[in-house]
Amino acid sequence: MNKETIEKMKAMKLSGMVRAFTTSLENEQQNKYTADEMVNFLIQSEWDERQNRAINRLITNARFRYNASVESLHYDNNRNLDKNQILRYADCSYVKENENILITGSTGIGKSYIATALGYQACMLGYKVMYANTNKLFSRLKMAKANGIYVKEMAKIERQDLLILDDFGLQPLDTINRNMLMEIIEDRHGKGASIITSQIPVNKWYEIIGEQTIADAILDRIVHSAHRIEIKGESLRKKISSVKINTETINN
């Protein structure tokens, strides 16, 4: 009868229940449970399985640059990174409130990692996230225009609970990129949260965007009531490279 039950669970795609029930049979745990406890055990196992699959799907769809987590962040006083501030963001209330986070600092300081860690945290809490290098996103959208799928791509961006624009401002925006950014920000204003990382201080973004009227409109929507993380200190990539070189020297 157990074998038949397992086959029916598989047919109904209850993989969490199958795993839990099979494990309980192998370990002879089913005799330790009351009927109510066994039902609860099976339902909870299926629930956990589906939640994990959903989270993994969100992480895959986000297309993060690398793995990151809030727990692995380094809070060095020299970096001006406030642990309490990051932990407040980790509850994702800013996503729920459709607010923005602006992360600025010199190259290699860890801006992208912090943004990605917050993105992973949002996925863990069930939010839809899209990570994109800003220049690559604009290039992809230009291709979408040529291929006739621009509206579809923009609709996909609008549907995200959290949009991460990494490395914003590496080069001034041309007219097409400026208009696309305006459209993205306008579509998401009051409907979704954004995290933007940049080597350029926020007060210099006018020069990057260009065209004062559009820059005013974009920055009014991005910067107004935005949370700020301004990281300082030496490049972490340089530190890591230096440690590797010193280690190799010692070993040799």
Domain residue ranges of the chain, discontinuous segments joined by +: 2-61, 64-238
Torsion of CA 147, 149, 150, 156, to 10 degrees: -150
Q: Is 131 exposed, middle or buried (0-12, 13-18, 19+ CB in 10 A)?
A: buried
CATH class of 64-238: alpha beta
Distances (CA, A) of 213 to 78, 164, 219: 38, 24, 10
Sequence-distant (≥ 6) Cβ neighbours of residue 145 within 8 angstroms: none
CA–CA dist 9, 20 (Å, integer): 11
CA–CA dist 173, 143 (Å, integer): 17
Distances (CA, A) of 198 to 15, 115, 134, 153: 43, 11, 10, 23
How confident is the prediction along the chain (252 residues), in pLDDT tens digits per residue?
688 888 888 898 888 888 888 888 877 776 777 788 888 888 988 888 889 999 999 999 999 988 999 999 988 777 888 999 999 999 999 999 999 999 999 988 899 999 999 999 999 999 999 999 999 999 999 999 999 999 999 999 999 999 999 999 998 999 999 999 999 999 999 999 999 999 999 999 999 999 899 999 999 999 987 999 999 876 655 554 444 444 444 455
How far from the centroid of its chain's Cα atoms is residue 2's Cα?
42
